[in-house]
A and B are shown apart, each in its own frame.
Chain A
Amino acid sequence: MSERLNNVFQFVEVDRKDPKKKPLITRKGQFVEIYKPFEEEVAKDQSHRCLECGNPYCEWKCPVHNYIPNWLKLVSEGNIMEAAELSHQTNSLPEVCGRVCPQDRLCEGACTLGEGGFGAVTIGSVEKYITDTAFALGWRPDMSKVVPVNKTVAIVGAGPAGLACADILVRNGVKPVVFDRNPEIGGLLTFGIPEFKLEKSVMTLRREVFEEMGVEFVLGTSVGDDVPFEHILEEYDAVFLGMGTYKAMKGGSLEKIFLVFMKH
């Protein structure tokens, strides 16, 4: 490994390698994620391809401005716990983004190696690897320095917007109470995005982690129907709405439309 860490031309010798896909027969018949996880050595080798650009385009292009080269370096050195802590400083659901972001349009599309024809660093797959591995090793966000400030905020919607809002609030001592009409958290992550891109177990684990951090969930409860909005507005210090969009677009001149999507 020390030999590898000293090799600044890793990107020439080691090609970009995406995690292996499962066999087509499995993919066609089952609703399971199609990519296998990275093996440790592959994750390290791939992370080490990063050039550590001084002014990284990938970071700038990533909507949450992840510290990408920094955590790639930690992974290449085998320091998963620190990588997980760093990754959570800018992203509330890094293991989800690693799976479902359009990386070719975002971080990986901006990677200098890609522009140079060497193949972009597999940023998304490493991001997913960091949190999945850290969780499996028992890592949890460090909440030991959080001081409660005696404020409570209601959040309507447990989709990515609501969860991210809850994450920042609870890390700053504010108590978030998250309402959702669905029986599980995640919004479209659970009830929209198919399992071949994101398996449901990812959100089940996330819910446990958020609950341990002090986020309260009130599920199976529709705000405006089961709980009047007046009550929420009165009882809490502030309210965040992250309710998504749930109306399908009409097909112009097409008259008989088959709608599979809309349940709500």
Chain B
Amino acid sequence: MVSNVNHCQGFEEDESDFINFKGKQVIVLGGGDTAMDCNRTSIRQGAKSVSCVYRRDEENMPGSRREVKNAREEGVQFLFNRQPVEIIGKDKVEGIKVVETVMGAPDENGRRKAEVVEGSEQIIPADAVLVAFGFQASPSPWFDKFGIETDAYGRVIAPKQGKFMYQTTNEKIFAGGDMVRGSDLVVTAIDEGRKAADGIMDYLDI
């Protein structure tokens, strides 16, 4: 989708970066907001069909309700309680193997786990499969050299409760947004940027 945005904007550097789903049977894996954006982007590219495969049931989907509703209106099919296990196809994608699941007991976070039903494997045909399982932190290789420490997940350590808000382990450097929180929201990134500015001004004695 990043490349689709680039395509629309004329920013792309390399034509092959752009993937088009016109006339394709598209399967999107995942039930988060990333998945909804993939679904709806594929529809707009003129995909023949778009199916969203999610391992839990509708009630347990993490995506925003509004976006799920918009996706459905635009023609996205939802397949719930299907855990993807394998993408089928040699040189090109031919389909995806899934197993059915049922909702089990809640886990330690109170979220109900999806339990696999034995012998329920099936193959859903597809020309393209999009994996939308979220994003992970991506610390820059030069952080170490400047004493910028990260946690076990690669997120930069810059606590709100520090001496100066959102100061990193290098006193002159502050940080905020997704690189500190892990992928989250626009409004939380804004909040941290604003508070970090206050932290910087305190540090500079302004």
Chain A interfacial positions (CB closer than 8 Å to B):
24, 27-31, 34, 62-64, 91-93, 96-97, 100-106, 149, 151, 153, 157, 159-169, 172-174, 182-184, 188-197, 200, 224, 229, 233, 237-251, 253-264
Contacts and interface: CB of A to CB of B under 8 A. Distances in A.
Interface of B: 1-6, 8-9, 11, 17, 19, 29, 34, 37-38, 40-41, 43-44, 46, 64-66, 70, 73-75, 84-87, 89, 93, 128-131, 133-138, 140-142, 146, 148, 156, 168, 172-179, 182-183, 185-194, 196-198, 200-201, 203-204, 206
Contacts of B206: 149, 151, 172-174
Which of A103, A183, A247, A253 gathers the greatest number of chain B CB atoms within 10 Å?
A: A247
A90 to B, nearest CB: 9
A183 B29 CA distance: 31
Contact of A161 (B44, B74, B138, B176): B176
Contact of A262 (B2, B190, B193): B2
A239 B172 contact: yes
Given A160-B187, A165-B197, A241-B176, 6 more contacts: A62-B187, A92-B194, A104-B65, A194-B41, A238-B174, A245-B138
Contacts of B8: 31, 195, 200
Contact of A194 (B1, B148, B183, B204): B1
Contacts of B187: 62-64, 91, 97, 101, 106, 160
Contact of B172 (A161, A238, A253, A258): A238
Given A29-B44, A168-B197, A191 B131 contact: no
A30 B11 CA distance: 18
Contacts of A247: 135-138
A140 B108 CA distance: 49
B5 A165 contact: no
Given A97-B190, A101-B186, A238 B203 contact: yes
B193 A251 contact: no
B176 to A, nearest CB: 5
Contacts of A173: 206
Given A189-B186, A245-B182, A194 B5 contact: yes
Given A240-B197, A253-B86, A245 B140 contact: no
Contacts of A151: 204, 206
Contacts of B141: 224
Contacts of A189: 186
**How would you classify the secondary structure of chain A's contact residues: helix, strand, loop or mixed?**
loop
Contact of B131 (A241, A246, A254): A254
A201 to B, nearest CB: 11
A5 B70 CA distance: 34
Contacts of B46: 29
Contacts of A174: 200-201, 204, 206
B173 A101 contact: no
B111 to A, nearest CB: 15
Contact of B133 (A31, A159, A193, A249): A249
B142 A263 contact: no
Contact of A245 (B17, B89, B135, B196): B135
B134 A249 contact: yes
Contacts of B70: 34
A258 B129 contact: yes
Contacts of B6: 191, 263
B189 A160 contact: yes
Nearest to B17: A263
Contacts of B204: 151, 174, 237-238
A29 B46 CA distance: 7
A152 to B, nearest CB: 10
A153 B175 CA distance: 13
Contact of A162 (B75, B172, B177): B177
Nearest to A196: B40
B176 A240 contact: yes
Contacts of A259: 131
Contacts of A233: 146, 172-173
A166 B46 CA distance: 40
13 contacts: A63-B191, A157-B177, A160-B177, A173-B206, A174-B200, A174-B206, A188-B178, A195-B5, A242-B179, A243-B177, A251-B29, A258-B87, A260-B1
